[in-house]
Amino acid sequence: MGYIVMIFIAIALIAALKWKAAIVIGVFIVICYFLGKKDNKNNDGLIDKKDVEEEKPEKIMIPQGLEEIEYYGGYNKGISNKLFLENRSNGICLYDKANNLKILILKRNIINFSMVGDYNRDSIVSGGKLEGGDFSLWGSIKGKMLYGDIGELIYARKKYTNSPIKTEVNVTDTRKIILKFKENEEEKGMILDKSVWEHLCFLCPEKKIK
């Protein structure tokens, strides 16, 4: 409909201004045609991929040689059970390689930390049992034939054997660290590997709960 109106306007201008205006109007119509065609393509959903492509998050850099620790839960964000621990002068930093996540816990934001669970070391002694000494009919006959009555008494008893003594140590360690801290003015918590205990004691011993 819009093109029909433009054609009537062009005819009216040509009639009024004659051939000089015809050239200008012709160029104008051609430009409008191509602009309208481009708009129609955009309206039909032909959009540049660059406009809709989501930007990929930048991959975090994990320093080499960090200690790997276990994470058992407590945090509100979904993170893997394997984290890398970095000690810093102002706190600790946890790296989650699987989820491309870094969690920085500053010393001033740590509320407290404590250890729960038990550590048991049990020693089990086995062996050292004296075996043998039972009656042996074949030994009795053999002793009687070789040495008479005395031989019968000696060979009638089986030899004694003594099994070696063995000591086994069973260790049961269920210790875990509960770390409480502030994040965005909200109290958070994590249950971490027991190996974090020494790092936290060095960083902020005054916040340790015995």
Q: Cα separation of 145 and 207, whole Å? A: 85
Name beta bridge partners: 122: 170
CA 156 to chain centre: 69
Q: What percent of the chain has pLDDT over 90?
A: 42
Average per-residue pLDDT in the chain?
76
Q: Cα separation of 91 and 95, whole Å? A: 13
Place of tokens 């269920």: 174
Q: Which DSSP string corresponds to 116-171?
A: ES-EEEEEEEE---EE---B-HHHHHHHHHHHHHHHHHHHTBPPPEEPPPEEEEEE
Residue type, 204: C
**pLDDT confidence bin for 77, thresholds 50/70/90:** confident
Higher local confidence (pLDDT), 1 or 141? 141
Average pLDDT on 56-81 reads 89
By C-alpha distance, which of 82, 72, 75 is closest to 176?
A: 72
Average pLDDT on 125-137 reads 58
Contact 114, 178 (CB under 8 A): yes
- pLDDT tens digits along 152-186: 555 555 555 666 778 888 889 999 999 999 999 99
Domains of the chain, residue spans: 1-31, 67-111+181-207, 122-170
pLDDT at 52: 41
> What's the token pair of residue 64?
């080499």
By C-alpha distance, which of 204, 200, 203 is closest to 115?
A: 200
For the purposes of burial, counting CB atoms within 10 Å of the CB of 40, is it exposed (0-12), middle (13-18) or buried (19 or more)?
exposed
* Residues, the chain: 210
> What's the token pair of residue 82?
């394997």
Pairing of strands 166-173, 186-192: unpaired
